[in-house]
Chain A
Amino acid sequence: EAQVTQNPRYLITVTGKKLTVTCSQNMNHEYMSWYRQDPGLGLRQIYYSMNVEVTDKGDVPEGYKVSRKEKRNFPLILESPSPNQTSLYFCASSLSGSRTDTQYFGPGTRLTVL
């Protein structure tokens, strides 16, 4: 089944404790991105990746890092999480970064930083 998977689905952590949210897709998509969803602010892009080893900042990149060492994986790293990073995070992938291509989303990761 074609899908985007994320782990963990739920995470409660404390300020400053490094964490990684994994994202994997099995559709051989080139383009992947991370969004966060916050009440009143909607969904905003954090980072995106056009291909292996090609990543760039989205609209809200502060406090996050990403890497793309393999085509299928695009982990989101929070080196020193803070309470304002409490949010619902989505990984998405599409065939390419063209506007014509549909982005398919993972199931989401609900992160709480205490």
Chain B
Amino acid sequence: AQKVTQAQTEISVVEKEDVTLDCVYETRDTTYYLFWYKQPPSGELVFLIRRNSFDEQNEISGRYSWNFQKSTSSFNFTITASQVVDSAVYFCALSEFIIQGAQKLVFGQGTRLTINP
């Protein structure tokens, strides 16, 4: 079975600091898909990024960047110059095949990030 581990339960930093959220995954698939979602205090789940295992190029989107390393089975997420609005629970997830035409997301336990002013 696939597994996603987010070892950092909670992180607290001061605004403008850089912060990295760790994600380690386990899978036997040679091709797989990783995701990050954000859950702000209001509770919804917001999609941030999808990464294919065959594309090892790192991704940057504004203050957000993602470092995918197949050799260490990690898909870490960095927020540069953090802001109070970044405070949320962040989930890393791996999509898992159920049957042809059906999949589910296997989520990590989440990292609660608090940005203090």
Partners in one complex: yes
With most chain B CB atoms within 10 A of its CB, the pick from A35, A105, A106 is: A105
Within the complex, what minimum Cβ distance (angstroms) separates A106 from chain B? 7
Residues of A within 8 A of B44 (CB): 105-108
How many residues of A sit at the interface, in one of the four size bands?
20 to 34
Contact with A along B82-104 (1 / 0, CB 8 A): 00000000010001111101111
Residues of A within 8 A of B74 (CB): none
Q: Is the CB of A105 within 8 A of B103?
A: no
Q: Is the CB of B35 within 8 A of A102?
A: yes
Q: Is the CB of B102 within 8 A of A105?
A: no
Chain A positions near chain B (C-beta within 8 angstroms):
31, 33, 35, 40, 42-43, 45, 48, 50, 56, 58-59, 88, 90, 92, 94, 96-108, 110
Chain B positions near chain A (C-beta within 8 angstroms):
32-33, 35, 37, 42-47, 50, 52, 91, 95-99, 101-105, 107-110
